[in-house]
Amino acid sequence: MQTQEHLFIGGDWVAPSTTDTIDVISPHSEQPIARVPAAAPADVDRAVAAAREAFDHGPWPRLDPKERVAIVRKLAERYEPRREEIAQLVTSEMGAPITFSRSAQARLPGFMISALTDVAAEYPWHETRSGALGADVGVHREPVGVVAAIIPWNMPMFLTVAKLVPALLAGCTIVLKPSPETPLDAAVMAELLAELGLPPGVVSILPGGRDVGRYLVSHPGVDKVSFTGSTAAGREVAAACGSALRKVSLELGGKSAAVVLDDADPEAVATGMTVAGLMNSGQACVAQTRILLPRKRYGEFVDALASVVEGLAVGDPFDPATRIGPMVTFRQQQRVSSYIDQGKAEGARLLVGGPGLPDGLDRGWYIRPTLFVDADNSMRIAQEEIFGPVLSVVPYSDDDEAVHLANASEYGLSGSVWTPDIDRGLNVAHRIRSGTLGINQPYSMDPAAPFGGVKSSGIGREFGREGMEGFLDVKSISIAPAATPDSGAARRSSTSSPAGESGGGS
Ligand code: NAD
């Protein structure tokens, strides 16, 4: 069993403040595979103090953004040789099928580091605007401060990169809390960061549970909380930040709809749903587990879906043939299982899968890939985020009803429209209230474009310029007309970088 003795605080591996540990359990074998220290409040205090010092007095926020870009590019280079190791670690700690771990859990973050760095390289950090009152105004984007970044277990390296990289590029200092289920890939990120030669205090990584998360988001030394997790926890985080008037962005849950129009190809839709609805064994915030099918060709689409879901290989996540791995924890298996019971009790027709372990498996936190049809959109299986391999099909009569049903949800994170008629698809997509949508594909999270939710799916955006802006404050500096253009340090060109005591240097 792998053991880790130290916590990564402010760039150093240090002894934890307590002897508390986290056992990482394989969801496939149900056996412990690693033990790591559990961060305690005293470790959070230490990490936030280091981040505060690095932000208030250290060089990182004051570097020219180009210098930060150059350092973060080194992270992209160093990440690549560790990719396979990261894929293996993520599969062992949370059970993602290895093919998904290689492609999405491990490869995408490497790609994202480069793409997000490109965004920063082209970002307009400073601009001068012709003021409406006659004088020019300098508009400067400055790092927001000490960032508390909290992530869930389902896409651990992907979500680490989504927060850490733009925060670093912006000039922030960061305390990242990974989930207790997935601390192992985070330790690899700590090793990579230690090789970059960042100034002391810039990054700490503290695995721990929700109590240490609560302590971190309420810490007076934190300027901004960037949270990804469930909507229930997001509400609590938002409340804590609200009372402290602390900036917060929230990437929360979803119950996204795949809207299948009546001219779509049933085979293409059914194959697409194995990704759109069932990627990461259904443990994806963007999972489109509500499938809206036209009554006109209902039978054709249902048959195609049933045959694809029935054929999905379930089992050992390290087997490259596996498409559906175990749920992350026993608790998650029980939760998904209870939704299957709920769907039956609510009167949806269970067509594929159902309760119990998949054939041939007598251990591991597995769920049979399950397809409910004839569901009503108001049923709990169509309204609540199940976070497992359970699809609910809801029939509709025309495009207007499809749009109405897609919007009849408290969430608005993702979604898709399936049709060969792109204009028709775009028309439907524009009428759906959601932060992201794909046409004939699940929305492919593009690091160049903003990602995030509306309604109970969150506040704020990650990726693209908009994601970078989540880690920036904007400062306007005007100069009295009598002053000469060069006399004010605030009047900057877009290529120069201010320096200052309070983190204004980027
Ligand atoms: P969770 O909310 O239980 O936990 C997420 C993280 O927050 C963990 O690190 C946890 O320790 C911490 N946490 C929990 N309660 C907290 C609190 N009150 N204060 C501070 N920290 C707290 O979620 P989970 O079960 O780990 O993850 C699954 C959820 O994450 C799903 O709802 C999924 O949709 C969502 N998610 C959203 C996105 C997105 O980008 N919108 C991406 C991935 C996952």
**pLDDT mean over 20-29:** 98
Residues 245 and 262 in one domain: no
Residue 506 has pLDDT above 90, yes or no: no
Residue 418 has pLDDT above 90, yes or no: yes
Residue whose C-alpha is closest to residue 254's, from 397, 371, 412, 117: 412
Is any atom of ligand 1 closer than 6 Å to the C-beta of 207? no
Mean pLDDT, rounded, for 220-249: 98
pLDDT at 375 over 80: yes
- Tally Cβ neighbours within 10 Å of residue 482: 7
Q: What is the CATH number of the domain that holds 416?
A: 3.40.309.10
Whether 463 maps to a domain, the answer reads yes
Q: How sure is the predictor about 451, in pLDDT bands with cuts at 50, 70 and 90?
A: very high
**Nearest protein CA to atom 35 of ligand 1, as residue:** 229
343, 336 Cβ separation under 8 angstroms: no
Give residue 135's pLDDT band: very low, low, confident or very high (50, 70, 90). Answer: confident
pLDDT at 423 over 80: yes
Instruction: Please report whether residue 216 resides in a domain.
Output: yes
pLDDT at 490: 44
- Same domain, yes or no, for 270 and 205? no
Based on the fold, state whether residues 89 and 174 are members of the same structural domain: yes
The CB of 150 under 6 Å from ligand 1? The reply is yes
90 lies in the same domain as 188: yes
End-to-end CA distance of the chain: 44
Question: Nearest Cα to 180, choosing from 284, 25, 335?
Answer: 25
For ligand 1, the distance from its centroid to the CA atom of residue 234, given in whole angstroms, is 7
Percent of the chain clearing pLDDT 90 (strictly above): 92
Cα–Cα distance measured from residue 287 to residue 279, given in angstroms and rounded to the nearest whole number: 7
Tell me which residue has tokens 């119950």: 255
Q: What is the residue type of 355?
A: P
Question: Which pLDDT value is given to residue 483?
Answer: 54
Flag whether pLDDT at 487 surpasses 50.
no
Q: What is the mean pLDDT of residues 101-129?
A: 97
Instruction: Assess if residue 373 is contained within a domain.
Output: yes
pLDDT tier for residue 228 given thresholds of 50, 70 and 90: very high
**Cα-to-centroid distance, 350 and ligand 1 (Å):** 29
Rounded Cα distance between 445 and 463, Å, is: 9
Catalytic site residue from 93, 142, 181, 251: 251
Q: Give nearest CA residue, ligand 1 atom 10.
A: 210
Nearest CA residue ID for atom 32, ligand 1: 230
- Residues 6 or more apart whose Cβ sits within 8 Å of residue 404: none
Tokens in use for 402?
């499809």
Ligand 1 atom 21: residue of nearest CA: 213
Q: Are residues 153 and 262 in the same domain?
A: no
pLDDT at 246 over 70: yes
Three-state SS across 109-125? HHHHHHHHHHHHHCCCC
Is 382's C-beta closer than 6 angstroms to any atom of ligand 1?
no
Q: Which residues, other chains included, contact 194 with Cβ-Cβ below 8 Å and sequence gap of 6+?
A: 8, 11, 12, 13
Ligand 1 atom nearest to CA at 216? 20
Residue 131: the pLDDT is: 86
| 89 domain residue, yes or no | yes
Give the span between the Cα atoms of 503 and 143, in whole angstroms: 7
Please state the domain count of the chain. Answer: 2
**pLDDT surpassing 90 at residue 491:** no
| Alpha-carbon gap, residue 257 to 286, rounded angstroms | 10
> Can you list the alpha helix ranges (DSSP code H) found in 347-398?
380-383
Residue 473's pLDDT is: 98
Tell whether ligand 1 has an atom less than 6 A from the beta carbon of residue 435. no
User: Which is the catalytic residue, given 93, 285, 385, 469?
Assistant: 285
Is residue 490 domain-resident? no
**168-177 average pLDDT score:** 98
Does the pLDDT at position 133 exceed 80? yes
When the pLDDT of each residue in the chain is averaged and rounded to a whole number, the result is 95
Ligand 1 geometric centre to CA of 178 (Å): 10
Do 241 and 266 lie in a common domain? no
pLDDT at 485: 55
pLDDT, one tens digit per residue, over 298-350 is 999 999 999 999 999 999 999 999 999 999 999 999 999 999 999 999 999 99
Residues 82 and 142 in one domain: yes
Does ligand 1 lie within 6 Å of residue 153's CB atom?
Answer: yes
CATH number for the domain that contains residue 203: 3.40.605.10
Residues 237 and 304 grouped into a single domain: no
Gap from CA of 230 to ligand 1 centroid (Å): 4
- The pLDDT confidence band at residue 366, using thresholds 50, 70 and 90, is very high
Domain boundaries, position 422: 257-439
Query: Would residue 251 show up in a list of annotated catalytic residues for this protein?
Result: yes
Same-domain status, 211 and 262: no
Place 499 in a pLDDT band, splitting at 50, 70 and 90: very low
Order of strands across the sheet that contains 247-251 = 12-14, 7-9, 203-205, 173-177, 146-150, 224-228, 247-251, 458-459
pLDDT category of residue 505 using cuts at 50, 70 and 90? very low
CA of 389 to the centre of ligand 1 (A): 19
Q: Is residue 37 part of a domain?
A: no
- Per-residue pLDDT, averaged over 216-242, amounts to 98
Q: Report the pLDDT value the prediction gives residue 484, as an integer from 0 to 100.
A: 52
Q: Give the DSSP letter of residue 408.
A: S
Residue nearest to atom 16 of ligand 1 (CA): 210
The mean per-residue pLDDT over the stretch 42-60 comes to 99
Say which residues have a Cβ less than 8 Å from residue 221's Cβ, sequence separation at least 6: 48, 49, 51, 52, 146
Q: Give me the mean pLDDT over the 267-285 stretch.
A: 97
Does residue 195 have an active-site annotation? no
227 and 103 belong to one structural domain: yes
**Residue 493 has what pLDDT?**
44
**Is residue 506 domain-resident?**
no
Asked if 96 and 185 sit in the same domain, the reply is: yes
Continuous H helices in 80-155: 83-94, 98-100, 108-121
Query: Which of 241, 168, 169 lies closest to 460, judged by CA?
Result: 241
Is residue 34 in a domain?
A: no
- Report the separation in Å between the CA atom of 252 and the middle of ligand 1, taken as the mean of its atom positions: 7
Ligand 1, atom 6, lies closest to the CA of 152
What is the arithmetic mean of pLDDT over 254-279?
97
Pair (165, 273) in one structural domain? no
